[in-house]
Amino acid sequence: MVNPTAAMLVIGDEILSGRTRDANMHYLAGELAKHGIDLREVRMVSDDEAAIIGAVQVLSAAYDHVFTSGGIGPTHDDITADCIAKAFDAHLGVRDDARAILQAHYDTQGLEMNEDRLRMARIPEGAALIENPVSAAPGFTLGNVHVMAGVPLIFQSMVASVMPTLTGGQPVLSQTLRVFRGEGEIAGPLRVLAEAYADLSVGCYPFQKDGAFGANIVIRGTDGARIDAAMTELAKELEQ
């Protein structure tokens, strides 16, 4: 069985300016791996309509799932919902069920449902709502695109809401061997191992600690027995 594929689109000027560090990709990658969905690509775009629409259309056509983060709040620069609607040629408007969710939340908080907050109830026609147990304002799924907030805690809660609705494959497993040897010294054995275990991913990630050079060698795949065999073979080879 081939695992479904996914891409992520991170949206926001604040990410590209360096003012905000994205934490959502790391979290999403881990959750998808556990669910058996392979994250193949991550893009970052500014709060630019043409850039968002173009990226969504390309990624949606290339992968089974697309996850977006950012740009669905109440301010003028939150344009993701508008762009997703345009990307799929879907009407965008305030939807009664989304409005009811927000109204109940703000009533509980003793806050007014003003025009700006109502922006978060605008949902493209044909979309399914994504539950947001943190701050109520829902995300949505349109086609194979799952549109979620950029705030990490809210993003994580929306991922938890979406994941049970997706058909996954085999969870991706991994093992790591940490060695204090330079990449040039271990490149040959790693190449041989990667060729012998073409069904697995063999990655080498160098580090420096206390003046010594080393590498974390990570073997990933969906077959635990194959990973065990590859790691055992590698450990024996590097002990020589």
User: Domain holding 69: CATH number?
Assistant: 3.40.980.10
Give pLDDT, residue 229.
96
Residue 103 clears pLDDT 90, i.e. is over it = yes
Domain boundary among 149, 165, 181: 165
Res. 33: pLDDT tops 70: yes
Say whether both 203 and 223 belong to one domain: yes
> pLDDT by residue (tens digit) across 46-94?
999 999 999 999 999 999 999 999 999 999 999 999 999 999 999 999 9
Residue 177 burial (C-beta neighbours within 10 Å; 0-12, 13-18, 19+): middle
The Cα-based distances of 232 to 14, 177, 226 in angstroms read: 45, 10, 10
Instruction: Clarify whether residues 200 and 151 are in a common domain.
Output: no
Question: Model's pTM, two decimal places?
Answer: 0.87
Give how many domains the chain has, as a whole number. 2
In terms of domains, do 81 and 190 share one?
Answer: no
pLDDT at 49 (0 to 100): 97
Domain that holds residue 131: 5-165
Answer with the one of 165, 189, 214 that is the final residue of a domain: 165
Q: What average pLDDT score do residues 89-115 get?
A: 96
- Nearest C-alpha neighbor of 172 from the set 140, 111, 218: 218
- Look over the chain and give the mean of its residue pLDDT values, rounded to a whole number: 95
- Whether 148 has a pLDDT exceeding 80, the answer reads yes
Confidence of residue 144 (pLDDT cuts 50, 70, 90): very high
179 with 225, same domain?
yes
Q: What is the model's pLDDT at position 240?
A: 59
The answer on 22 and 125 residing in a single domain is yes
pLDDT at 215 over 90: yes
Check which CATH number belongs to the domain holding 219 and give it: 3.30.70.600
Q: What is the mean pLDDT of residues 208-219?
A: 91
Residues 154 and 194 in one domain: no
Confidence of residue 209 (pLDDT cuts 50, 70, 90): confident
- Say how far apart CA 231 and CA 217 lie, in whole Å: 9
- Does 127 lie in the same domain as 17? yes
- The verdict on 27 and 123 lying in the same domain is yes
Do 59 and 133 belong together in one domain? Answer: yes
For residue 116, report the phi and psi dihedrals to the nearest 5 degrees: -70, -45
- Say whether both 133 and 186 belong to one domain: no
- Do both 161 and 177 map to the same domain? no
pLDDT of res. 167: 93
Arithmetic mean of pLDDT, 10-39: 95
Are residues 90 and 110 both part of a single domain? yes
Which residue from 79, 80, 68 is spatially nearest to 147, judged by alpha carbons?
Answer: 68
User: Is the pLDDT score of 1 beyond 90?
Assistant: no
